[in-house]
Chains A and B, each alone.
Chain A
Amino acid sequence: MSAATLYGLSAAALVGIGLFGLITHPDPLRKILAFNLLGGGVFLLFGVIARRGAAAGFGGDPVPQAIVITGIIVGFSATALAVALLQRLFEENNRTAPQAEGSMQGAPTVSSHDGDRGGGD
């Protein structure tokens, strides 16, 4: 088994691990982390395909590599947007229910009484 195939299998395993974390973890920040793991696995898969396309004196096919670079940057901007959304969501939900007790305090809930929040947003 060549090195590229070995890394391809581990990339597939990374996709599985990231998908598991994305679906099962209740905390949204951990979901974002698992989503980044999933993305890392997919990029590695591209990298394996690029490595197998080594030709014309290059170590790997440069087109998938360039696409992966683009993907890493776009994935980072999506993560930044998701984190900003999360912070605003937690702020808003804590403003509507500051005295909520129990284990769900602070977790984002689907608010059924949006009109109570008043203006200013």
Chain B
Amino acid sequence: MIVAGAFDLALAVTVLAVATWCVSVRATFAAVVAFVAFGLLVAVVWVRLAAVDVALTEVAIQGGIVGVLLLGATASLRRYKAAVAERSGATQRLAVAVFCAVVFLALATAVLTLPDPAPTLAPPVAASLLAFGLGNPVTGVLLGYRAIDTLLETVVLLLALIGVWSISPDRSWGGRPLPMHSAGRADALVYFARLLPPVGIVIGVYIVWVGADAPGGKFQGGTILAAMWMLVMMAGLRNPPSVARSGLRLLLVAGPAFFFIVGLAGLAISGGFLAYPAPYAKPIILLIELVLTPSVAVTLGLLVAGPPVRDARQ
């Protein structure tokens, strides 16, 4: 169809234009805003590539949470810079541009010479989906066919959080991260932070629940829950929690630990790590998703809140 082709072409050109602007603009704030716009446009590209789950994840994380993280970093790093450090010379940039053009040509050749009956893993996934009773193939892959990847991914999130916490100096260990709201109450933001979280929590839980049969899942829903928590923190209604609270640490570890225990139980009962016994596969998968969602949401929120900086005594 000509209209669809024209739309695809316009979308691809816009994505590349926004990316070029993000890389080349002088002010960092404008670059971060361009990156958020880039994330939203790439989400539309993902929908055109028939990958709606990926589009949901992209728009939630790259169009949302990474934007919050980088805007906060831009604001807090602004006071350290007197002037922009000198850029590299024109010949160096030309050499790098040539190198990047070579990389582009290599990848473009790879794209144009992809094998024509494309190899695919869709039939084995379809077979295992029938066994699990799920309707969403991506959830079937994430929590069934390749559940070990998801387990390791949740552990990686936890390790990144431990890394972020370890960056704080010794005297701040056990303290709270910097409060996320600026001085001076903005009444509009406070009102919004009281109005939106109930709706957002319902939407987040709905997206987790519907991920079994339609696009959705725990990462997308968990990101929405984390965003609601960050909204509350940014309005000043709550402060970030102290990293020494044992309840917080238990909540963070509960998700991956439960997933791991289910895997070991699978080893004992069904003869393979993370192998689900056949009649209970769908309830186990739903239970794993529900237990993992709070852990993922709290981990994502704490990753954005940053390392503890206040003294532990406060």
Interface residues, chain A, CB within 8 Å of chain B? 3-21, 23-27, 29-30, 32-34, 36-37, 40, 43-45, 47-63, 65-70, 72-74, 76-81, 83-88, 90, 94, 102-107, 120-121
Given contacts A14-B15, A85-B167, contact A7 B45 (CB under 8 A): yes
- Cβ-defined contact, B82 with A26, below 8 A: no
Determine whether the beta carbon of A86 is less than 8 Å from that of B77.
yes
CB of A84 within 8 A of CB of B84, answer no
B residues engaging A (CB < 8 A)? 4-5, 8-9, 12, 15-16, 19-20, 22-24, 28, 31-32, 35, 38-39, 42, 45-46, 48-51, 53-54, 57-58, 61-62, 65-66, 69-70, 73-74, 76-77, 80-88, 92-93, 96-97, 99-101, 103-104, 107-108, 110-112, 114, 118-123, 125-126, 137-138, 140-142, 145-146, 149-150, 153, 156-157, 160-161, 163-164, 167-171, 217, 219, 300, 303-304, 306-307
Contacts of A24 in B (CB 8 A): 87-88, 92-93, 96
Q: Which residues of B contact A90 (CB under 8 A)?
A: 77, 80
Residue numbers in A under 8 Å from B122 (CB-CB): 53-56, 58, 61-62
Knowing A12-B107, A69-B219, A77-B303, the reply to whether A104 touches B85 (Cβ < 8 A) is: yes
Contacts A33-B35, A72-B62, A86-B77; A61 near B120 (Cβ below 8 A): yes
Query: B303 and A105: CB pair below 8 A?
Result: no
> Are B219 and A73 in contact (CB-based, < 8 A)?
yes
Contacts of A4 in B (CB 8 A): 49
The 8 residue pairs across chains A and B that have the minimum distance between CB atoms: A59-B50, A53-B120, A77-B160, A21-B23, A12-B107, A8-B111, A16-B104, A106-B80
Q: A32-B70, A73-B61 are in contact. Are A20 and B160 (CB under 8 A)?
A: no
Partner of A81, one of B73, B163, B219: B163
**A86, B8: Cα distance in complex, Å:** 38
Alpha-carbon gap, A83 to B178, bound state (A)? 14
CA distance A45 to B110 in the complex (A): 10
Select from chain B the residue with minimum beta-carbon distance to A107: B85
Nearest residue, chain B, Cβ from A78: B160
Chain B residues positioned under 8 Å from A21 (CB to CB): 22-24
| B160 close to A60 (CB less than 8 A) | no
Partner of A49, one of B58, B83, B118, B140: B118
State in angstroms the CA–CA spacing of A69 and B61 once bound together: 10
What A residues does B76 contact at CB under 8 A? 87
A74: B residues at CB distance < 8 A: 153, 156-157
Q: Given A26-B84, A58-B122, A103-B82 in contact, is the A37-B51 Cβ separation under 8 Å? A: no
| A17–B16 alpha-carbon span in the complex (Å) | 8
Chain B residues contacting A7 (CB-CB under 8 Å) are: 8, 12, 45, 48-49
Considering only CB atoms, which chain A residue lies closest to B145 in the complex?
A63
| Contacts known (A45-B107, A66-B146, A80-B304); A16 close to B100, Cβ less than 8 A | yes
Bound-complex Cα distance A16 to B102 (A): 8
Residues of chain A within 8 A of B84, CB atoms compared: 26-27, 103
Give the chain B neighbours of A103 by CB distance below 8 A.
82-86
Per the bound structure, the CA–CA distance linking A23 and B38 in Å amounts to 20
- State the CA gap A67–B160 with chains docked (Å): 19
Shortest beta-carbon distance, A97 to chain B, in Å?
Answer: 11
A-B CB contact pairs (8 Å), 6 listed? A7-B45, A7-B49, A8-B111, A50-B51, A65-B53, A80-B303
